[in-house]
Structure 1
Amino acid sequence: MTKLSSYINPQGQDFQANREQMLAQLKQVRDIEAFCISTEQEKQSRYHKKNMLLPRERLQHLVDAGAPFIELSSLAGYKMDDDKDGSGAGGGCIAGIGYVSGVRCLVKVDNYAVKGGTVSVSGMEKNLRLQQIAIENKLPFITLAQSGGANLAYATKIFAPGGRSFANQARMSALGIPQITVVHGSATAGGAYQPGLSDYVIMVKKQASMYLAGPPLLKAATGEIATEEALGGAEMHIREPGSSEYLADNDRDAIAMAREILAMTGQNFRQNQSQGQSQATYAEPDFSPEELLGIVPAETKTPYDAREIIARLSDGSQYLEFKADWDAQTLCGHIKLGGLPCGVIANNGPITAKGASKAAQFIQLCQQSQIPLLFLHNTTGFMVGTESEQSGIIKHGSKMIQAVANATVPKISIVIGGSYGAGNYAMCGRGFDPRFIFAWPNSKTSVMGGAQAGKVLRIVTEAKMKATGEVDNNKLDQLEQGTCAMIEQGAGAIPCSARLWDDGIIDPRHTRSLLIELFDICHQADKQELAQNHFGVARF
């Protein structure tokens, strides 16, 4: 393998300008997250008086202190639907991959302190994504539940696709993926089936409740009058129907029980995970991760060499490039991340016919050797023009898309710049189901650039106007400028992450450590053997 050199000047004016812009964009993300946390903390005294922990306090009690935790989709639903002030970012829950009693698992905590933890359209989509991650990576799933349920204002959008979450739970149980739910508060209607479909249920005494219809709905529907405790209280569920296995005195006690259950039932997962790369030795890159802040130009049209990124990600800055002299704009090569081999595909420009062919061949070779793939997005898309069409860009681009779609090795995407048009598909964007996809704060994802979209609509509209003999340049200017602004506004990292087009926005400096953890998750999942059966575990 070749040891990569670096040609950037970290003290240079351009580098410093790039760095300042990246930090400013990162601050926007962190400010949104901080605002959500402060909104939650405003309720602290109210809930502490009730001896209840806030959602993030529950999370801290659940996960192992000092162990890695990868938060997922922290901006889901930001300023979408009825989230006017941005405090609803996260879709009503806090979620991520962490360690509980030494077992790596997926954790979801209902954020009841903000808008009652009600589930919006984005919250429903986030939950489905969390389940997909758990299934693909064979991760035990722990839920700390206390939610107002579905936001009825969006019931017509949530109801049908939301049913998939229950089907997923049943299938996860049948696959042998343990599900533990702590019911801290109310679990009503569909929310009651979430713990009901879990393998282990813990309820908090005199605090938790589960029922298909609460006292008001029950009275309206049947005329029956019942107290909340008699209808769905924790002690009733323990003693009468057996809908819960464990009764806890308070939040802390319930979370301690969840940790004990996973410690006992997660032995097979822990044993496999302990054989991972935590014991491996490997060289760090020759260059500081701090320099990742200033490599990508603040001006998106300014080119740069993606090898500068690779040099700060790969073990020992080593890189074995594939077909280095056959198309310079699509980079393919082998690296190691945390001691594990990895194939990397990156962009130094648009994807040409040759670049697509090279990438398709490289992907198939990695599939043959069972080497996972890393995609570093920064492309305006496929090259267009007469020469490109005559070179077979459609045919060769289709080959690359075929290879990306059908490769079964783990695929992880990092959007480090622009990801436009079919280039997003060819580089394994969200629609191609990468195992994980994260974005840098400067990233943009869209069908095309705003300026190009504006010009396209102007040209099409102007042609229609000419056909009628009435060309209105003011209207054309407004159309072009308005379209450009709309596309650019929706293409940024924050709105894309709000739509769950990625699993979160990350600090570029953390990219290597994140990738090492993610590829280890994939590696362990491929080794993990689950005790499957035809049906999920039934509660008797």
Structure 2
Amino acid sequence: MSLLETSGDDYPARRAAMLAKLTELDAEQAKAVAGGGERYLERHRGRGKLPARERIELLIDPDSAFLELSPLAGWGSDFPVGASVVTGIGVIEGVECVISANDPTVRGGASNPWTLRKTLRAADIAFRNRMPLVNLVESGGADLPAQKEIFIPGGRVFRDLTRLSAAGIPTIALVFGNSTAGGAYVPGLSDHVVMVKERAKVFLGGPPLVKMATGEESDDESLGGAEMHARVSGLADYLAADEHDALRIGRQIVRGLNWRKLGTPPRAVREPRYDEDELLGIVPEDLRIPFDPREVIVRIVDGSEFDEFKPLYGGSLVTGWARLHGYPIGILANARGVLFSQEAQKAAQFIQLAGQTRTPLVFLQNTTGYMVGRDYEQGGIIKHGAMMINAVSNSTVPHLTIVMGASYGAGNYGMCGRAYDPRFLFAWPSAKSAVMGPAQLAGVLSIVGRAAAHARGQIYDEEGDIEMRRLVETQIEAESLPFFLSGRLYDDGVIDPRDTRTVLGLCLSAVGNAPVPEPAGFGVFRM
């Protein structure tokens, strides 16, 4: 049952604040969609080529969803937003696939450090969720000035392709243009390779490098053209007449995989009884003000039905069972930010119960961390927090995390933050994450500095303290915002709260490609 007062004074203000943040989000994501800009897009089209997102649109099933991942990668860095590659999950011939498409309008599709991280994340999602990986290849290789950050860790791209294939997860490369040097190993290590006639160029070293290394005179086509690889080297399995033909063949390959999901199929889907649009007015702009996560839950789960577990115990953490798009889930949601001993023990038991029934877990984060203070330390907050973190760490069911508000301190860990490898992690525009709040952190530094000055017998600089606190608060505030964090791939994207049910549904469906994981190997300990 919802108790949200949409006619109250708080709701319109919260809604307006969220809409303002969504306007900022749209503007930043538009930079990724724009790629290299109108000039380079027109030049690309003038060569008879399709942009990366249009290639994806033609590859996936008509009117099907494409869940784009990490569109803000590289935000706040020296590199373009989006990191010159588009990644996500799309349905091809009824099969959910991970798709990675180079954007050649951005520096020729060259890879920078954020491109690499984004590409590796896509491969990890394909591996853990057992989904075919389709690479739409057109890249000039590494962004050479940044090679020191790309070359050594970049070898994981090749390792991941071979591990996917060894695990029986198909890898497909559709080559539309250049795929040179290390990039030549993407088709070289893929199970299925399609090259576009007179467009694809795949070689370890181009004509200038070959001339320098061996003195041999050669041209692009004889050295690495699509027709040569289809007729002579055998690297190309299919020779496409043009880009549309390559995408048609790609769909044909996926159709021939005879792919089937190994997870538990969903039951009938029921829409929530409450309007998802009301999610915009739930989270306060000031995250120090608590909000009831049950108002979020009843707007995203099937039939708005939530079977709460231990409702009278550990009230700062809401736990319980529900279904979402027909899939059973367990939910852990922060109610008042702070996690006490009761909440930690309650969470540990609930996580173990989910393991017993092989039920995926959804974490809805809004936490300032575990409680501190003499009484709480003496009451065992460390060991109880450790129980919760232990349970999260060793739980083998799929975890999905949504950061709705605050995500501070060890609460980020206990509520399955990025370091704990949730299958997917998304943030709302209202999210903030750091070791602690900006004012708290600045205050701690002030106390430490004051004590150090006293120990040295010096007079503490009060004016300098004020300036230090101002600078620290400004820095921490900027570094805790969702755009900054998403730019560093600490989540899989910043989403509109109204899309939460859809995004979680797509993720649960993707997770269902993999077999139900084995239990953790121990019974439930009553906490």
Instruction: Tell me which residue corresponds to 1:331.
Output: 318
Contact 1:350 1:382 in 2 (8 A): yes
Contact 1:51 1:250 in 2 (8 A): no
- Match of 2:116, as an amino acid? M
Instruction: Tell me which residue corresponds to 1:163.
Output: 155
Q: Distance in 2 between matches of 1:218 and 1:437?
A: 45
Confirm whether residue 484 of structure 1 aligns to residue 473 of structure 2: yes
- Residue 390 (structure 1) aligned to one of 378, 400, 403: 378
Q: Distance in 2 between matches of 1:308 and 1:32?
A: 29
Q: Distance in 2 between matches of 1:374 and 1:65?
A: 30
Instruction: Tell me which residue corresponds to 1:268.
Output: 259
The Cα shift of 1:44 comes to: 3.6
Instruction: Tell me which residue corresponds to 1:428.
Output: 416
Confirm whether residue 410 of structure 1 aligns to residue 386 of structure 2: no
Q: Distance in 1 between matches of 2:132 and 2:68?
A: 16
Name whichever of 208-217 and 421-430 sits farther off: 208-217
SS of residue in 2 equivalent to 1:526: coil
Report the TM-score, using the length of structure 2 for normalisation.
0.95
Q: How does 1:73-222 map to 2 (within 5 A)?
A: 73-80=70-77, 82-83=78-79, 88-222=80-214
The Cα shift of 1:443 comes to: 0.5
Contact 2:348 2:391 in 1 (8 A): yes
Contact 1:293 1:509 in 2 (8 A): yes
The Cα shift of 1:40 comes to: 4.4
The Cα shift of 1:473 comes to: 1.9
The Cα shift of 1:527 comes to: 5.8
Q: Distance in 2 between matches of 1:204 and 1:504?
A: 32
SS of residue in 1 equivalent to 2:70: coil
The Cα shift of 1:115 comes to: 2.0
Name whichever of 232-241 and 290-299 sits farther off: 232-241
Q: Distance in 1 between matches of 2:119 and 2:35?
A: 22
In structure 2, the CA distance between the partners of 1:283 and 1:406, relative to structure 1 (3 Å rule), is: same
The Cα shift of 1:462 comes to: 2.0
Instruction: Tell me which residue corresponds to 1:310.
Output: 297
Task: Report percent identity of matched pairs.
Answer: 44
The Cα shift of 1:45 comes to: 3.0
The Cα shift of 1:48 comes to: 2.4
Q: Distance in 2 between matches of 1:457 and 1:225?
A: 65
- Match of 2:383, as an amino acid? K
Q: Distance in 2 between matches of 1:114 and 1:524?
A: 33
Q: How does 1:524-535 map to 2 (within 5 A)?
A: 524-526=513-515
Q: How does 1:215-254 map to 2 (within 5 A)?
A: 215-254=207-246
- Match of 1:252, as an amino acid? H
In structure 2, the CA distance between the partners of 1:524 and 1:233, relative to structure 1 (3 Å rule), is: closer
SS of residue in 1 equivalent to 2:162: helix
TM-superposition CA deviations, 1:310-367 (whole Å, max 9, x none): 1111211111111111111011111111222211001012110110011001100110
The Cα shift of 1:39 comes to: 4.4
Instruction: Tell me which residue corresponds to 1:18.
Output: 14
Name whichever of 381-390 and 151-160 sits farther off: 151-160
- Residue 502 (structure 1) aligned to one of 468, 491, 505: 491
SS of residue in 2 equivalent to 1:150: coil
- Match of 1:251, as an amino acid? E
- Match of 1:192, as an amino acid? A
Contact 1:192 1:212 in 2 (8 A): yes
In structure 2, the CA distance between the partners of 1:387 and 1:57, relative to structure 1 (3 Å rule), is: same
- Residue 333 (structure 2) aligned to one of 330, 346, 349: 346
SS of residue in 1 equivalent to 2:246: helix
SS of residue in 1 equivalent to 2:466: helix
Contact 2:271 2:303 in 1 (8 A): yes
Instruction: Tell me which residue corresponds to 2:61.
Output: 64
The Cα shift of 1:41 comes to: 5.8
- Residue 55 (structure 1) aligned to one of 31, 52, 56: 52
The Cα shift of 1:482 comes to: 1.1
Q: Distance in 2 between matches of 1:214 and 1:102?
A: 39
The Cα shift of 1:521 comes to: 1.9
TM-superposition CA deviations, 1:417-457 (whole Å, max 9, x none): 11111100000000000011111111011111111111111
> How many residues were matched structurally?
514
Q: How does 1:427-466 map to 2 (within 5 A)?
A: 427-466=415-454
Contact 1:52 1:250 in 2 (8 A): no
- Residue 34 (structure 1) aligned to one of 30, 35, 42: 30
Structure 1 residues without counterparts, runs of 5 or longer: 529-540
Name whichever of 422-431 and 13-22 sits farther off: 13-22
TM-superposition CA deviations, 1:391-410 (whole Å, max 9, x none): 10100000100000100001
Instruction: Tell me which residue corresponds to 2:3.
Output: 7
Contact 2:32 2:71 in 1 (8 A): no
SS of residue in 2 equivalent to 1:525: coil
Contact 2:438 2:473 in 1 (8 A): yes
Instruction: Tell me which residue corresponds to 2:272.
Output: 285
SS of residue in 1 equivalent to 2:369: coil
- Residue 513 (structure 1) aligned to one of 502, 515, 520: 502
- Match of 2:399, as an amino acid? K
Structure 2 residues without counterparts, runs of 5 or longer: 518-527
The Cα shift of 1:513 comes to: 1.7
- Match of 1:324, as an amino acid? P
Instruction: Tell me which residue corresponds to 1:45.
Output: 42
Contact 2:262 2:512 in 1 (8 A): no
TM-superposition CA deviations, 1:215-258 (whole Å, max 9, x none): 22222333333212221111111122111111112111111111
Q: Distance in 1 between matches of 2:328 and 2:177?
A: 46
Name whichever of 387-396 and 210-219 sits farther off: 210-219
- Match of 1:36, as an amino acid? A
- Match of 1:20, as an amino acid? A
Q: Distance in 2 between matches of 1:282 and 1:172?
A: 32
Name whichever of 402-411 and 336-345 sits farther off: 336-345
User: Segments of 4+ in structure 1 off by > 4 A?
Assistant: none
Q: Distance in 1 between matches of 2:455 and 2:139?
A: 57
SS of residue in 2 equivalent to 1:185: strand
- Match of 1:459, as an amino acid? I
Contact 1:214 1:228 in 2 (8 A): yes
Instruction: Tell me which residue corresponds to 1:359.
Output: 347
Confirm whether residue 296 of structure 1 aligns to residue 283 of structure 2: yes
Q: How does 1:364-375 map to 2 (within 5 A)?
A: 364-375=352-363
- Match of 1:69, as an amino acid? F
Contact 1:75 1:497 in 2 (8 A): yes
Q: Distance in 2 between matches of 1:79 and 1:246?
A: 40
Q: Distance in 1 between matches of 2:249 and 2:430?
A: 42
Instruction: Tell me which residue corresponds to 1:531.
Output: none
How much is the aligned-residue C-alpha RMSD, in angstroms?
1.6
Instruction: Tell me which residue corresponds to 2:521.
Output: none
The Cα shift of 1:14 comes to: 1.1
